[in-house]
Amino acid sequence: MQIEIFDPIFQTWVFTGLLCLALLLTIRRIKIQTFFPTQLSTEIKGFAILAIVLAHTGYYLSKNTQYLFPLSVLAGVGVNLFFFLAGYGLAVSSLRNEINIKAFYLKRLRRLFVPLWLAITILFILDFIIHQKNYGFVTLIESYLGFYPKADLFLSFNAPLWYFTMILFYYLAFPLVFLKRIRIISPLLIYLVFTGVLFLPLPLGGDIINLYKVHSLSFPLGMGLALLVFHNKLPTFKLSKIIKVVLLAGLVFLVGYLALNSGVGHGVDIEQALSTIATLAIVLIGLLKPVRII
């Protein structure tokens, strides 16, 4: 159900002002700089959550798409950031501790499915009680298995859960490709396996296939960064404050430009390339910025 927003442009200015104020009040200087600390991962997750929530609010909950624009144009990048962090986190953890496939599945799949089962059970019950809506046995089974073949925001049980199916695939495939002998090529391998699976005659809607293709690079890129860091393959150099400021300003401009010129409607390949570039730019901003947001 969409809602009417009174004076959406004014409401957007008010929200933007309050959001900027909240960010300014939580800024703290970074005292000890380490590469990709937990704090940065948390900040990027927070940014991704905001990007996705604001996009769904501005474009789907509100009847007027002017509401929250242009804060509402980074949903795809937000999704990419989650995949990137998942790939980086799994790879870092597995590099520190050798993978035991059985233990990996028990630990990771439990963390995925238990919150999912709890959330969808509540939603199924509420939909039945409040809206007298029954989704049928097939949808129930697919949902509890983590398989969401459609992403129609107004017809599907929970359209954003298409993400769960994709991340579930990565979790299932990761320990099988991140083996010691082939670890160096595992990012490429998991990307090829994923794109290869998309050529199979799967019972998926066309919109789902396109979403998978657009976001397929981020998880392998996260894995790749973890491998570069672990093997000390990243170049080390110091930047002056002026160069950092100029570089940060350029990256912020680039993200803003790509947010407004995302390539949506110009083909999956173009959209994927622009979305991936914006994702990496945001990660670089996080690595270069001299402050943290708590």
What pLDDT score was predicted for residue 288?
86
Tokens representing 6 are 């009174």
Q: Rounded distance, CA 256 to CA 251, Å?
A: 9
At residue 150, φ and ψ (nearest 5 deg) are -135, 155
What pLDDT score was predicted for residue 1?
65
Could you give the maximum distance between any two Cα atoms of the chain, in Å?
Answer: 63
Give pLDDT < 70 ranges for the chain.
Answer: 1, 32-33, 206, 294
What pLDDT score was predicted for residue 255?
93
> Pairing mode, if any, of strands 291-293 and 27-29?
antiparallel
Q: Rounded distance, CA 120 to CA 124, Å?
A: 6
Q: Identify the DSSP state of 3.
A: B
Beta bridge partners of 293: 27
Say whether pTM exceeds 0.75.
Answer: yes
What pLDDT score was predicted for residue 7?
86
What pLDDT score was predicted for residue 206?
66
